[in-house]
């Protein structure tokens, strides 16, 4: 597949964000972790509760306050587990991503066509989101390689949580752009 075709497939008619984020493409283990999707969904849902705050359609009350406390406890658990694991920090890379896949700039081409795409979804949170992915296109450049990765089919709840997370990133970028235009 050509890079243009890969761009159309991954980003054509879906919300996509271009950001600088700590990210990596890791080798896929022989025995995939069945809890990978559930942990990714839990991370994105907890981020949504904390970053979105109260929504106008949801009354601010005991249920919402309890959901926020539960989300904070979930993230605290993830943080403690991350400290125990002592994961190496991924380098910050230029990244475009949607709920379908990602375009990632790497210093060298990956050895395998399938792998695990790992990204830190929030600047303030050291936890990472890990999604199985397959390389569908590659563009070799003087300073490295650009890889187009299509995410493996994911449970609908994880896909919805990822779309919501990307929408929040997009919304913040639009607001920042508007604020910069007003300042000039």
Domain ranges within the chain, ordered by starting residue: 3-183
* pLDDT given at position 57: 46
* pLDDT given at position 56: 46
184 residues of the chain, pLDDT tens digit each: 899 999 999 998 888 999 999 999 988 877 767 666 677 787 788 777 767 665 444 555 566 667 667 767 766 666 665 555 555 678 999 999 999 999 999 998 888 888 999 998 887 777 888 999 999 999 998 888 999 999 999 899 999 999 999 998 888 888 888 888 888 7
Helix (H) or strand (E) holding 32: none
Taking the C-alpha atoms of residue 65 and residue 145, their distance in angstroms, rounded to an integer, is 46
**Residues 1, 89 contacting (CB under 8 angstroms):** no
Taking the C-alpha atoms of residue 57 and residue 52, their distance in angstroms, rounded to an integer, is 12
């Amino acid at each position: 597949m050509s890079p243009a075709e890969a761009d159309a497939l991954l980003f054509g008619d879906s919300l996509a964000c271009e950001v600088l984020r700590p990210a990596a493409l890791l080798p896929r283990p022989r025995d995939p972790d069945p809890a990978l999707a559930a942990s990714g969904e839990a991370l994105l849902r907890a981020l949504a509760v904390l970053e979105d705050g109260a929504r106008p359609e949801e009354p601010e009350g005991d249920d919402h306050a309890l959901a926020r406390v539960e989300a904070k406890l979930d993230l605290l658990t993830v943080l403690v587990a991350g400290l125990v694991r002592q994961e190496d920090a991924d380098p910050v890379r230029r990244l475009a991503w949607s709920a379908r896949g990602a375009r990632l700039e790497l210093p060298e081409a990956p050895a395998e066509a399938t792998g695990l795409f790992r990204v830190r979804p929030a600047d303030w949170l050291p936890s990472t989101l890990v999604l199985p992915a397959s390389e569908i296109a590659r563009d070799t450049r003087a300073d490295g390689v650009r890889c187009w990765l299509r995410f493996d089919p994911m449970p609908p709840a994880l896909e919805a949580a990822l779309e919501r997370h990307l929408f929040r990133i997009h919304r913040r970028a639009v607001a920042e752009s508007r604020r910069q235009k007003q300042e000039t």
